[in-house]
Structure 1
């Protein structure tokens, strides 16, 4: 279904059980991603376990509206807050964010703490200044690189047709919007990171470039549990779906029991 939020329409899939249940919002990553990555991994399993599951395409992605501008992190945060209002969600939700989706989850918890029961950050980092520069640099490199047809053909040969199609879509998003530029001027939560009170579960692959986040999160968050998956890079959600599903289900159930006390 399409839900109007501000000036855009967000494509939403909701898998709801009968009766009250913990609400889990699944937030996908940037450029290559859409709610489909959750629909074919965690979403159905969470729904079968009795959770109320909300999946949506970020602005510019999947079947959501693609405006030419408006891709700062805080605009994604406002989209999510507006979506929860439009869906008449009346209880704090459990956010599960993969990669950039995890940064949005941290952003929502900082801006609207009453909306968030817990965060699961999968291969993600909070939006502090170092995140802004690192992501901005990566997008700046990707923009001209993915625009070359030779690059798409190399990806097709190495990773197959599906990845090549995703790469072509990512290139189009980079060329037709200001997403790469907007990241650099996104509002960060540097000063408010230590004030985040919601519990955080952080999942990383031990071969990921984001392993540096482990000590950073432990040092800067009041309540953070970190799980490191061995022999794993950045594609934790796709390559270790079963383990991730079990970890997050146990986490949400645990946090829901704490809420009920």
Structure 2
């Protein structure tokens, strides 16, 4: 894959923050095993649309205790990162991810992307190459293409995006209240749902709108064929946000070295509904030998 590292000039600006070459500060967490407990494996987590890196807590904590170095960051406009007012296209977001990887000088990583974050991870690989990435895990991703078009007739009609954007500009808290339970699943506690909603409510409205447009325009059908690292794809068959037949099943057919694992009955918020199983699957995948 072509490398474009000349595009990225990032450095640690202060504890917990990486500054990109355009002055955007990205907050990150770097949870390392204590003492000699580490196994030498590093996992980098890319978060969901609307959520910061905190969403990965129930994977990162047990994985760090198992010996993995776990790193998660907040996308621009999300969480504690800068709200720069722009740069929400996939190329710039992939460059932000490259900045995190470069500033921390990471290599041989397992790159894990959830929902929109899966598309950012793929764009990182096709834009910056796989020299630093050993494996890719795509969790309930938006790939390869969500929008309905003449050459993607089974996609999601534009009316759904328009309805969400209307709610975003008029009563986003109510939209979250209406959709949080289908997202998290029937067994999630109300406290857990409240936690997710509170994180989403702290995200920049401009970032929410712009990222939604980016997801709606995304088309990775050709790009996925260029992925040259082993890939794990995980999704629930009760995902109402990114239907399995439209996303992960098609993605698995396009990536040359991909394995699809379907969780029966799992919703879109699989990192909550099936947290322990997902953690186990990520650990096994990150530990696998790559020849």
User: Is the pair's TM-score, using the shorter chain for normalization, greater than 0.5?
Assistant: yes
Q: Flag the 1:15–1:137 CA change in 2: closer, same or farther, 3 A.
A: farther
Match of 2:42 in 1: 23
Which residues of 2 match residues 107-256 of structure 1 at below 5 A? 107-111=123-127, 112-128=129-145, 130=147, 139-149=161-171, 152-153=173-174, 155-156=176-177, 162=195, 164-166=197-199, 168-170=201-203, 172-174=204-206, 178-183=210-215, 188-208=219-239, 209-212=242-245, 213-254=247-288
- Given the two structures, how large is their TM-score scaled by the length of structure 2? 0.75
**Is the deviation greater in 120-129 or in 79-88?**
120-129
Deviation (angstroms), 1:167: 5.0
Q: Secondary structure at the match of 1:204?
A: strand
Residue aligned with 1:44, SS: helix
Shift of the alpha carbon at 1:121?
0.8
Distance 1:125-1:180 versus aligned 2 partners, 3 A rule: closer
Superposed displacement of residue 108, structure 1: 1.4
- The alignment covers a number of residue pairs equal to 251
The whole-number CA distance in structure 2 between the counterparts of 1:16 and 1:127 is 33
CA distance, structure 1, for counterparts of residue 148 and residue 62 of structure 2: 31
Residue 115 of structure 1 deviates from its aligned partner by 2.4
Q: Mark the runs of 5 or more structure 1 residues left unpaired by the alignment.
A: none
Cα RMSD (Å) of the superposition? 2.9
Which whole-Å CA distance do the structure 2 matches of 1:154 and 1:258 have between them? 43
* 2:69 pairs with 1:37: no
Q: Which residue of 2 aligns with 1:258?
A: 290
Cα distance, 1:246 vs. partner?
A: 0.6
Contact 2:168-2:205 within 8 A present in 1 as well: no
More off after superposition, 133-142 vs 44-53: 133-142
Quick one: structure 1 residues 218 and 184, their matched pair in 2 at CA, closer, same or farther if it must change by over 3 Å? closer
Deviation at 1:164, TM superposition (A): 4.9
Contact 1:118 1:198 in 2 (8 A): yes
Is this contact kept in 1: 2:55–2:196, CA < 8 A? no
- Which among 116, 122, 146 is matched to residue 100 of structure 1? 116
Cα distance between partner residues in 2 of 1:11 and 1:44: 18
TM-score (norm 1): 0.83
> Per the alignment, do residues 195 and 23 of structure 1 end up closer, same or farther by CA in structure 2, a change over 3 Å counting?
same
Change (3 A) 1:238 1:136: farther
